[in-house]
Amino acid sequence: MRRDDMDKPKLLIVDDDEEIRTQMKWALAQEYRVFIAEDRASALEVFQAERPAIVTLDLGLPPHPRDMEEGFRTLNDILQADTNAKVIVITGRNGREYALQAIGQGAYDFFRKPIQLGELQVVLRRALHVYQLEQEHRALQQRLYSQAFGEMLGTSPQMQEVFTAIHKVANTDASVLIVGESGTGKELVARAIHRRSGRREAPFVAINCGAIPENLLESELFGHEKGAFTGAHMQRKGRIESAQGGSLFLDEIGELSLPLQVKLLRFLQEHQLERLGGRESIAVNTRVLAATNMDLHQAMAAGRFREDLYYRLGVVIIALPPLRERGEDVLLLAKALLQRYTTEGKYKITAFTRQALTALQSYNWPGNVRELENRIKRAVIMAPGTRLTPGDLDLASPFSKYEGQGLREAREALEKELIQRVLARHKGNVTRTATALGVSRPTLHELLSKYAIER
């Protein structure tokens, strides 16, 4: 193959008429690297192997060139394999209806026989132009995704607020308290703050206060001198000291015992600490970032968390919204995660079905982004098709969207939904809706105002 051939865009011609194939190939080879196929199977094979940008597809393919069934199937297969491909269907003289149907199914354009090569070339050039624009757009969007905020994604106003807060606080030495349900990205926020701070070259040290037994946690945090306790054979620096010049991330801060809360408070006030069994005070320049999914106000009211520590830690508080309150971010995240997992592992899944997108959006996400990650990760491995369905994501059950809610909330959500549906079916007629739901009119009126349902 000549070198400049490699730079030409790829075109696949699918036609069962050899004469047409040859004629088209001959006319278009100047501009395109042309591949040809004569039936559905070979079309798909070539398409998968070469990934052409544009395809011309004769709808009348064997074994029954007169009905367009095989052509439509081929169209579907190609678009399943790559929704971005531009397919131009070619129909017989009277194929207008088929052509429109094909466009409805995702074909880019149509062309009628007999083929005027000059005209076809114009159509192809335009299709290629659109293809290239879309590709550029995707590449830009991709860059935007990955730059958005390190690996933190989100375009919802709630997340933009979080990003702004990270920006503002990063270059100060203020302690930051990050609160939010589990899986909302608290650790990611802490890392983002560290990475954007002047401390980025120094260590980011994370410790989970809930995962370490209380009697070990103290020396883990503050370190110890040789002989401080049985088994302390050597002197050891604690995590606060290892994060010297950098940031210490205290996860699950609500689990810290009261005596350790006092010690931590002292460190925050004086920037000095004593190792266990040590006598000298050591000056340590470590910034503290803390996180919790516990309601610290409740813990303070119950005397389990010190108020003075709360105010020291929470000079700035960043509250992460639950995923279900982030609107379109669910889809943005889902698509980005799908892309991440499919490029990691060479899977052939390319997208979500429409139903899956709806299911993703109406689900409650009690485990937030982490749960979304896990569902997509598993679906990518297990799904048989090329597009993920609600079933693949384990969101097919009518109950899945109520998961994570209490019985009462779930009951009310269901009640509201059902009333809305039946009301819509009866075009807002209250009497008929009440009858259909088996309640009296006054009861229905009460429910309508309770759920703020408009007729």
Ligand X SMILES: Nc1ncnc2c1ncn2[C@@H]1O[C@H](COP(=O)(O)OP(=O)(O)OP(=O)(O)O)[C@@H](O)[C@H]1O
Nearer to Mg ion, 50 or 295 (CB): 295
**Contact flag: residue 188 with ligand X (CB under 6 A):** yes
Query: Which CA distances in Å does 24 have to 57, 114, 122, 343?
Result: 12, 12, 14, 35
To the nearest whole angstrom, how small is the minimum distance from the Cβ of residue 210 to Mg ion?
10
**Which residues lie closer than 8 Å to 448 by C-beta, 6 or more apart?**
419, 430, 455
To the nearest whole angstrom, how small is the minimum distance from the Cβ of residue 166 to ligand X?
11
**Contact flag: residue 180 with ligand X (CB under 6 A):** yes
- Nearest CA to 289 out of 197, 183, 184, 161 is that of 197
Nearer to Mg ion, 187 or 412 (CB): 187
Site residues (vs Mg ion, CB under 5 A): 187
CA triplet 56, 60, 66: central angle to 5 degrees? 165
To the nearest whole angstrom, how small is the minimum distance from the Cβ of residue 160 to ligand X?
11
Residue, CB closest to ligand X: 185
- Nearest CA to 271 out of 170, 175, 172, 166 is that of 175
Decide: 277 and 232 in contact? Cβ < 8 Å.
yes
**Contact flag: residue 107 with ligand X (CB under 6 A):** no
**Contact flag: residue 184 with ligand X (CB under 6 A):** yes
323-382 residues near ligand X, rule: CB under 6 A: 333, 369-370, 373
To the nearest whole angstrom, how small is the minimum distance from the Cβ of residue 386 to Mg ion?
34
Nearer to Mg ion, 31 or 187 (CB): 187
**Contact flag: residue 422 with ligand X (CB under 6 A):** no
**Contact flag: residue 185 with ligand X (CB under 6 A):** yes
**Tokens for 419?**
């009333």
Residue from 186, 224, 236, 375 that binds ligand X (CB under 6 A)? 186
- The Cα 216–Cα 234 span in angstroms is 15
Nearer to Mg ion, 187 or 373 (CB): 187
Q: Which entry of Mg ion, ligand X, none binds 184, CB below 5 to 8 A by partner kind?
A: ligand X
**Which residues lie closer than 8 Å to 357 by C-beta, 6 or more apart?**
331, 334
Q: Which entry of Mg ion, ligand X, none binds 369, CB below 5 to 8 A by partner kind?
A: ligand X
Residue from 153, 221, 256, 380 that binds ligand X (CB under 6 A)? 153
Q: Which entry of Mg ion, ligand X, none binds 185, CB below 5 to 8 A by partner kind?
A: ligand X
- Nearest CA to 381 out of 356, 348, 354 is that of 348
- Nearest CA to 83 out of 18, 161, 138 is that of 138
The set of long-range contacts for 424-430, using a CB threshold of 8 Å and a minimum separation of 24, is 428/455, 430/455
To the nearest whole angstrom, how small is the minimum distance from the Cβ of residue 161 to ligand X?
13
**Per-residue string for binding with ligand X, 265-304, x by CB under 6 A?**
----------------------------x-----------
Nearer to ligand X, 41 or 144 (CB): 144
Residue 128's H or E segment, with its range, is helix 117-148
Decide: 422 and 415 in contact? Cβ < 8 Å.
no
Question: Which residue stretch of 46-54, 178-186, 380-388, 397-405 sits at the interface with ligand X (rule: CB under 6 A)?
Answer: 178-186
To the nearest whole angstrom, how small is the minimum distance from the Cβ of residue 267 to ligand X?
23
Residue 57's H or E segment, with its range, is strand 54-58
Owner of token pair 């995590």: 239
**Contact flag: residue 151 with ligand X (CB under 6 A):** yes
Decide: 198 and 171 in contact? Cβ < 8 Å.
yes
Binding site for ligand X (CB under 6 A): 151-154, 180, 182-188, 293, 333, 369-370, 373
